[in-house]
Each structure stands twice: as C-alpha cells, then as structure tokens.
Amino acid sequence: MKLIAEYNDHELSYVTEDTDSGKKNYVIEGIFAQAESKNRNGRIYPRPILEAAVNKFATEQVATKRAVGELNHPDGPTVNLDKVSHRITELNWDGNNVMGKALILDTPMGNIVKGLLDGGVQLGVSTRGMGSLENRNGTMYVKDDFHLATVDIVQDPSAPQAFVNGIMEGVEWVWNNGVIQPQHLIEEDVEEIEEEIQDVEKIETEIIKAPRRDLHLVQEREFKNFLSLLK
C-alpha cells in the first residue's frame, strides 16, 4: 500500500472558545476531506470507500479521544506523539464533504499553531492514510483498502503534486504483525530503479543535445518517452 496525503483546498475557520476556567481554546473547523470529486492530486475517493474509512476512524479514534494529528506531515503513517499539535473532535458528513473540527493542544507544536493563527497565517488540513490506487482512464481512484491514519495541519505546499508524490508516496508500507513498517527494497527493486534512472538521464541528454530548430519536437518526443516510464 502507498502512503497517501491529500491537501484540502478549502479555507478553514478558527475560533476561540471560553472554558469554565477562563482559558481560551483554539479550534479549527471546515472541510477536512471530499468524496467523488477529483482533487488537486488527480485522485478521486469514491463515497463508499471514503465513508467506510472516515466512519471507522470516527468510531475508533475520534469517539475515544485518540484522534490526534501533527503539524506538517511526517515521512510515515504513524502518529508521533512528540509532534502532535491537535485533537480531532468531530467528523461529520455534509453531502460529499467531510466536515471536521479540531482542538489545538497545549503542546510545543500546538503552541506553534496558535502563534501562527494569532499572526493571521492561513493554515490548512491534509488527510494522511494508506491504500492502493487504480488508474481508470487517466484518473487515479482510491481502492477499498484505504485506511485513514489521521488529519494533519499543514500550510499549502508550493508544489503540492511533488510534495505528495515525491515524499508521501515514495515508500511502500506493509503491515508486519500489527505494526506498520516500510517495505525494504530487494535486489531486483534496486536494479529496476537504477535502470529507470539511466532512462531518465538518457532523456535529459537527448533534450540537451537537441539542435535549437528541433528542440520542440525533441522535447515532445522525450516527454512521451518519460510518460511511458511511469507506472
């Protein structure tokens, strides 16, 4: 399974709520996820699949006050308690939108979030989960093995496509006796990666060596060659 992260384009709102002790709680709320529409990463979550994952997460994590997330995405699916910034308190469906609410915690990372909010920084949320993808006519659909790990607080990455594909999906993850672990590359995998690197370097060389008058044609040809390498 791949580690899948989805940044949410919709702006969140944040409010402060007075407690009985006179202390103010910081709360963010808004759309945390969406089904049935192609997101900015070119993926679609079918409603039944996302609904099953969200409902399971709500029952097992939100309802038991265990649904915590981090400030920025880590490089794996496991939540690191020393980097937790918030606790997700509500997840509800509104049409195909998953409406969420999260309490900012008095942790080191949570206090950073509070400072950013006080400074007027617009933050977003991004789901983090594991699952397989299926290509249907050029669009990637999330399959029914999708598991929602948590919802993190992030700032909109400047290159979201590269951020998600390059960092979050760079490793295969497997269940090993109940523990999520990265799958180690075997010798055949290493050889395949080395061959792909050589192919990409060859494409770059062809473009660099192309005469100026033929540059556009060469770029078009080599771009097609590059697409053929994608799996």
**What is the Cα–Cα distance from 15 to 27, expressed in whole angstroms?**
5
CB count, 10 Å around CB of 1? 19
Which of 73, 85, 86, 228 is catalytic? The answer is: 73
**Half-sphere CA count of 196, side-chain side, radius 13 A:** 12
Which of 126, 132, 216, 228 is catalytic? The answer is: 126
86 is catalytic: no
Q: Are 142 and 44 in contact (CB under 8 A)?
A: yes
Ramachandran angles phi, psi of 89, nearest 5°: -105, -20
Helix axes 215-229, 187-209, angle to 10 degrees: 170
73 is catalytic: yes
Residue identified by tokens 């290493």 is 190
Spell out the long-range contacts of 10-16 with Cβ–Cβ below 8 A and sequence spacing 24 or more. Answer: 10/124, 11/122, 11/124, 12/122, 12/123, 12/124, 12/125, 14/117
**What is the Cα–Cα distance from 24 to 21, expressed in whole angstroms?**
9
Full DSSP string of 157-221: -SSHHHIIIIIITSSBEEEETTEEEEPPPPHHHHHHHHHHHHHHHHHHHHHHHS-GGGHHHHHHH
Residues labelled catalytic: 73, 126
